[in-house]
Amino acid sequence: MYMKHKSTGNLVEILDATALADPCRSVVGGRFHVGEELQDAAEFAKQDLIFPSGEVLPRCWQDAGYRAR
């Protein structure tokens, strides 16, 4: 699954899609998808990621208590 990094606009290949949907995790493993060589894996804050279309992540993926509010 690919997401877009807000500040750079580069695509980020998400290595564990279930971690992206887990509201108890604020970071997710991934790697930038730029250039011709495979980039090193890194951790990305969910708040820094958006869908390639420009939509923000669903609230239920970021906030474990989203139903309580």
pLDDT, tens digit, 9 for 90 and up, residues 23-36: 999 999 999 999 88
Q: What is the pLDDT of residue 69?
A: 65
Burial level of 65, CB count in 10 A (0-12/13-18/19+)? exposed
Model pTM?
0.86
Going through 6-53 in order, the beta strands assigned E by DSSP cover: 11-14, 27-32, 42-45, 49-50
pLDDT at 68 over 70: yes
Q: What is the pLDDT of residue 65?
A: 87
38-60: pLDDT as tens digits = 999 999 999 999 999 999 999 99
The pair phi, psi for residue 40, each rounded to 5°, is -70, 145
| Average pLDDT of the residues in 4-25 | 95
**Residue ranges covered by each domain of the chain:** 2-61
